Amino acid sequence: MIQFNSDICHNYKEASSREWLETNGLGGFASSTVAGSNTRRYHGLLFAATNPPVGRLLMLSKLEETLVVDGQRYDLSANCYPGTIQPEGFLFLKHFRLDPFPLFTFEIGDLRLEKAIFLIHGQDTVVVDYSISRHASSGDGELASSQLLLEVKPLIAFRDYHSTSHRNSDIDGRYQQERGCITLNPYPDQPALFLAHNAERVDNTGYWYNDFVFEREIERGFNDTEDLFNPFQLTF
């Protein structure tokens, strides 16, 4: 078991230099850092091996998460853009544990949000599970009396794992929605992405996040940035 407490988690330099990797036995994988920022081209939530074990395609890059407590917004993700880190969700990260898969524990006031990430063996499937509770010392009524929302924005890339994605007009931002499942097929020559969920609401967004910086790649002489597309927002 590997674990880090807030002395590491709250320090972006330290947390972003510690990486984790999950594999699915087919050549697909998920990887990122303790800080939640993708510092390499090879970081992302779902790399699928389209011709196992090769043909690796980054389909789902990451999730932008915001916890809303009684109208107050707390961004939990972290991204490196030119000259800045935004947002700084690692400042709410109390604990990280790899046992056997990544488990992130965020604390905001008396609330504790845990996020687990794991891949299903033999499938190109990543599971992201969220749970929320109170600190053990909190009163029984405090969580129930709070109005809580979790907003999740998926960022998609659909590119070879050696490459980077860039803003373009060819992407098809439409999606098909059925009960508990959303299907995306942004480029006709690539496989579709199926996103199962139990969100209360799905809102169309359709905008780009521009100029992600890969800090570890810069150290290796690769200076290209990446743009990622957000088709919709899930609200739980």
**pLDDT tens column, 166-195:** 999 999 999 999 999 999 999 999 999 999
Q: What's the token pair of residue 49?
A: 């091996």
CA-closest candidate to residue 53, choices 28, 34, 33: 28
pTM above 0.85, yes or no: yes
Work out how many domains the chain is built from and give that number. Answer: 1
% of the chain beyond a pLDDT of 70: 96
pLDDT in tens, 116-172: 999 999 999 999 999 999 876 555 545 556 799 999 999 999 999 999 999 999 999
Domain residue limits at 214: 2-235
- Whether 15 and 90 have beta carbons less than 8 Å apart is answered as yes
Across 127-164, b (16+ Cβ under 10 Å) vs e yields: ebebebebeeeeeeeebeeeeeebbbbbbbbbbebeeb
Contact 65, 73 (CB under 8 A): no
What CATH number has the domain bearing residue 188?
Answer: 2.70.98
